[in-house]
Amino acid sequence: MRIKPLTGAFGAEVTEIDLRSGLSGKQIRAIETAFSEHVVLVFRDQDFDIDSFEVFAQSLGHFGDTPFITPVEGHPNVVRVLRERDEEGPLFGSGWHSDWSFQTKPPSATLLYAVEVPDEGGDTAYTNQYLAFETLSDSMQKLLDGLSAVHTAERSYGPGGTFGRPDPDSSMNIRGDESAVVRQAHPLVRTHPVTGRKALYVNEVYTVAIENMTSAESSALLKFLFEHSRQIGLTCRVRWRPGTLTMWDNRVTQHFAINDYSGSRREMYRITLAGEKPN
């Protein structure tokens, strides 16, 4: 297994390993170590079907809970992320976000496997929230540490949200409902359970307020944090090709699906791994 950093900040490309071949305990530990260090891992030239993709995911942890999206038939923990050539509706995964941060126990990691991708476009961008926190001033770090932010799926999957109503023209069966309006508070700065490092834990898709602040105070501070978190020096970008598997740590990253491939088809398989309550 060879590891090559994607950028000077974070992310790594992993080659010379076959994830379908039945990994040894030593190989799993090596992947986990690399994941802790690099946060985003890109495995090239893999040959998964859905069954083998599930087996690999389970070697790293338990499946997470995926609401609102109808999974692949017979595979309740796998979502097909699909966009056909002629689709024009909102793109699933657009906007800077951490997957399902509105859950009580959001996923620890997401695994996304490329089946068919455009010749150009369709990249995914990531931003490192360890670095987002660490590049703040000491005074700002002290202000934020101990605050809680409010997360909800309402703007995405609530009755009036982006995906709140079934879209007969969408390739994905996404069904929002009233459960999306529930609000969940998490620490604005969370501590990673493995590394012990602190990271910002807010995102512009699901974070709507900061507890115990006025609306004006909360909005202004969140706007600053969102802009700070996505500055170019904190990011990396993954160029997909068929057979690429990318996994990222949702506890310390945000990601953004780039919508620049109109007229092309893109099909991926997606699995999330269960996480813990942020603290």
Catalytic residue set: 97, 99, 255, 270
Q: Would you tell me how many other CB atoms lie within 10 Å of the CB of residue 279?
A: 8
Q: How many CB atoms lie within 10 A of CB 178?
A: 11
